[in-house]
Amino acid sequence: MFVFSLLAVFLTLLFFSQPLAASFVFALVVALIASIVEACSPFGIDNLTVPLSSAIVLVALRSLT
């Protein structure tokens, strides 16, 4: 989960012309949060909690820059 999330977010941010360093840091944080949420979510609910938490974290990170 961590590796796929990292690659997916990183490549998506690069595609939308974000700086390389910022894209990597954002992707690293989002992938870490997504992995933790997936590990802690009860069965079946991670299909909702992982994308939602990932989106919230990414929006929060983007608002800081």
Q: Which two tokens stand for residue 25?
A: 């840091």
Per-residue pLDDT, 29: 97
pLDDT in tens, 42-59: 888 999 999 999 999 999
d(CA 26, CA 38): 18
Q: What is the mean pLDDT of the chain?
A: 94
Indicate the pTM of the whole model.
0.90
In this model, does residue 65 exceed pLDDT 80?
no
d(CA 30, CA 43): 21
Q: Domain count of the chain? A: 1
Range of the domain at 7: 2-64
Per-residue pLDDT, 17: 85
pLDDT in tens, 5-37: 999 999 999 999 889 999 999 999 999 999 999
